[in-house]
Amino acid sequence: MTRIAVYRRRYQPLAPALQARLCSGNYRALIVTSSELLEHLAKWCNQAALNQPLIVSSRRLATLAGILGFCDLKVASGATPAALIAALETCDPQDADVDQGTY
């Protein structure tokens, strides 16, 4: 029997332009559906990003997000695209912690 790895996730640092956008807080919300992604995202975020709306797909992820320092948590009714979009529609960029630009 020969064992080979056919799938492996690897941490990839953000491109500089994406890092700048994340740090600026110039977005309506971030959406996360896995704990692995959430843990990577927390490493990339500064305080401005941690104060922006974060939509998660479960209470378990919301708990982890709070532990990681995210402040404005919204729990979607599930991980389906429709549930995530419905949660996104509740995010008002005018109420965000930093200037959100014009949408």
Q: What is the CATH number of the domain that holds 75?
A: 3.40.50.10090
The 10 Å Cβ neighbour count of residue 54 is 27
In a domain, 7, yes or no: no
The identity of residue 64, as a single letter, is L
Mean pLDDT for the stretch of residues 73-84:
95
Strands 30-32 and 72-75: unpaired
In a domain, 6, yes or no: no
In a domain, 72, yes or no: yes
Separation between Cα atoms, residue 41 and residue 97, nearest integer Å: 18
Strands 53-56 and 72-75: parallel
In a domain, 57, yes or no: yes
- Count: domains in the chain: 1
* Domain with 34 in it: 17-95
Q: Each residue of 17-55: pLDDT tens digit? A: 988 988 888 888 999 999 999 999 999 999 989 999 999
Write down the pTM of the prediction: 0.79
In a domain, 100, yes or no: no
In a domain, 79, yes or no: yes
